[in-house]
A and B are shown apart, each in its own frame.
Chain A
């Protein structure tokens, strides 16, 4: 039973570019949440998707957008990248209404 997978593992982008990160949830899970973790900080909630809709959103600008597909996988898109977007991006999956979230290994994004 595969856990949460994310791709790519590492990514280097230039300021102003756009990036797409991908997440496949744990088998049987239907809810995907995205978190940003800056170096030395705890993860911060970006948004959560359920039934292909954004259900909750954290305090992130509109440059951050997402999508959930019918197979429950999800993408995180960030436009007009800033240096401050450099971070580890974590995806977590869960079963709707259940408390425990399972995290993927993350994608480390570096913006130069």
Chain B
């Protein structure tokens, strides 16, 4: 079974708009990571946030983590058509251990 649930399952926006994806999980974690997947190929690591962190930024990405609510959000600002992909959150209990993925959000950015 999968750890997390992602919301929404699908998101369609126009270029230039912001995209927000949410992830919830069930038990305590060491860290939470976000990945991107294009067309069912390999996963690309986007950003990692540790359980003692609340917010991280990387370029146009902003991730928040609320351990009291067991939830995280990924914000992509000023989206581009090239951002069209599936986005997955993954939780890790033990550093370097297995990742437990959510079911993903399919993002479509229209030019």
Contact = CB atoms under 8 A, between A and B. Distances in A.
B1 to A, nearest CB: 8
Contacts of A94: 96
Given A42-B102, A99-B31, A100-B45, A31 B40 contact: no
Contacts of B42: 4, 90, 103-106
B99 interface: yes
Contacts, number: 71
Interface of A is mostly: loop
Interface residues of B, number: 26
Contacts of B95: 97-99
A102 B103 CA distance: 19
Interface of A: 4, 31, 33, 35, 37, 39-45, 48, 56, 58-59, 88, 90, 92, 94-106, 108
Interface of B: 1-2, 30-31, 33, 35, 40-45, 48, 88, 90, 92, 95-104
